[in-house]
Amino acid sequence: MPELEHFDLVVIGAGPAGEKAAAQAAYFKKKVAIIECEPEPGGAAVHTGTLPSKTLRETALYLSGYHARELYGVGMELDRGATLPRLMSRKNAIAAAEARSFRQNFAKHQVRYFQGRGRFVDPHTIAVTSSAGELQISGDFVLICTGSRPHRPADIDFADDWIHDSDEILTIHDLPTSMTILGGGVIGCEYACMFAALGVGITLVDARAEILPFLDAEIVQRLKAAMIKLGVRLVQGQRWTKALRTPTGVTTTLQDGTTIENEQLLFAAGRTGCASDLGLERVGLAPDSRGYIPVDKEFRTKVPHIFAAGDVIGFPALASVSMEQGRVAMCHAFGFGYKTAVAAEMPYGIYTIPEVSSFGETEETCREKKIEYVVGRALYENNARGKITGDLEGITKLIVDAKTRRVLGVHVIGERATELVHIGQTAITLGAKVDVFIDMVFNYPTLADSYKYAAYDCLGGLAARA
């Protein structure tokens, strides 16, 4: 039997976490192999989730004339014969371009790329199975980055053409006339807004009393108002008991016995780690009940040379965080001293219509922690750029410590919120006082200028307390 090719690191899964981890190790001259079971690298972020759904969002904003209605009173009519593949014509091009970027990064860092399914043979040996057959490689360290897939309850018939999960929803051919979405988390809210903007009648059902409860409550209320204006019907605090196909659509029965009938159904409540076919039992590892692999703060499993990062370890399951987890894991594996932890706090970016982004303390967490605080708000409707673009629903909100004047939290709703939040994030990370925004000069007209007026509003609150 020929001798196995040996690597310093073998990465299973070429999504965001795997790619950044492989590049991190290879940058420091480690010999790295990466294995990907799909035809192209990129994972769900590139092919089924993050980028495709954001492509649909941009399409929905453009074709629906979302802001044009406010600016010019123009009502744009979407061709009901338009197929989703036509609306998503850019998706494949974007996915292909991103996959090329992944491959170019591997080539740049001399990372060996294996297309096939990776599975443990023993703690240091990985079998790679593909249409060409099987080969085996070995590694001093192994990093598992196999991602996640949508949770599929056994009592929902996902084989039905009118019942979908959040990975395959974008493969449907025709836009439905109406859709029930089960799950009011990030994915459910994003798809509710996108399809509603395209003229689909949406009913969003969530078992919790409030959608997106980790956000500042005021921001949630503003988002809900925007969603209702968009045509989304919200059903909250109701569990669903069953979903059955009928001749005319899909009927969902709720806990209180009421029923909702729409043409199609999207189940968007939760995801499951992809760890069931890795041969973990051969190395003494096992996923938890949701398919996630337990790790410590260094992203090390209970087998010291085997690490895991990204969606396969569970929360927060964000591409941005997954990349950092992969890098940090490799720093601990090889003793690179410069990056030993993922930032304690992370921004949330939610691509609803309008966007929402948040970092730091909310009013609710300040009250829980007994922090004395003031709030400053700046409305996009009072901002010159907001008026120009027709984005009149937005707001930049600052949370400031009443005693120290330090900025504690920033919450933005409105277009470009996921970009704007990083200004506040930087101030919070550096421990800056709210005065920094008063002293700064912002380009005019810009949405970023809203920080100055939110800061002035905070100063008014501080003066009133004094």
Domain boundaries, the chain: 5-149+272-334, 163-269, 354-465
* Cβ neighbourhood burial of 86 (10 Å; 0-12, 13-18, 19+): exposed
Q: Which two tokens stand for residue 319?
A: 């591409």
**In the CATH scheme, what is the homologous superfamily, with its name and number, of domain 354-465?**
FAD/NAD-linked reductase, C-terminal dimerisation domain (3.30.390.30)
* Cβ neighbourhood burial of 215 (10 Å; 0-12, 13-18, 19+): buried
Has domain 163-269 been given CATH number 1.10.730.10?
Answer: no
Residue 63 has pLDDT above 80, yes or no: no
First-to-final CA distance of the chain: 80
| Global pTM value | 0.92
Same fold, 5-149+272-334 and 354-465: no
| Confidence (pLDDT) at 390 | 83
Residue 49 has pLDDT above 50, yes or no: yes
| Confidence (pLDDT) at 80 | 56
pLDDT per residue over 236-276, tens digit each? 999 999 999 999 999 999 999 999 999 999 999 999 999 99
pLDDT per residue over 412-458, tens digit each? 999 899 999 999 999 999 999 999 999 999 999 999 999 999 999 99
Q: How far is CA 380 from CA 14, 193, 377, 386, in A?
A: 40, 20, 10, 5
Residues 21-29: what's their mean pLDDT?
A: 97
Residue 72 has pLDDT above 70, yes or no: no
Q: How far is CA 91 from CA 48, 170, 353, 375, 396, in A?
A: 10, 10, 19, 40, 31
pLDDT per residue over 174-228, tens digit each? 889 999 999 999 999 999 999 999 889 999 999 999 999 999 999 999 999 999 9
* Cβ neighbourhood burial of 340 (10 Å; 0-12, 13-18, 19+): exposed
| Confidence (pLDDT) at 76 | 55
Residue 245: how many CA atoms within 13 Å on its side-chain side? Answer: 12
Residue 331 has pLDDT above 90, yes or no: yes
Residue 116 has pLDDT above 70, yes or no: yes
Residues 76-96: what's their mean pLDDT?
A: 70
In our burial notation (b when 16+ CB lie closer than 10 A, e otherwise), range 422-434 reads bbbbebbeeeebb
pLDDT per residue over 375-418, tens digit each? 999 999 999 999 888 888 899 999 999 999 999 999 999 989 99
Residues 69-98: what's their mean pLDDT?
A: 68
Tokens 């090889």 belong to which residue?
A: 334
Residue 148 has pLDDT above 70, yes or no: yes
* Mean of pLDDT over the chain: 93
Q: How far is CA 216 from CA 148, 357, 360, 453, in A?
A: 27, 10, 10, 20
Has domain 5-149+272-334 been given CATH number 3.40.50.300?
Answer: no
| Confidence (pLDDT) at 1 | 45
Residue 143 has pLDDT above 80, yes or no: yes
| Confidence (pLDDT) at 340 | 92
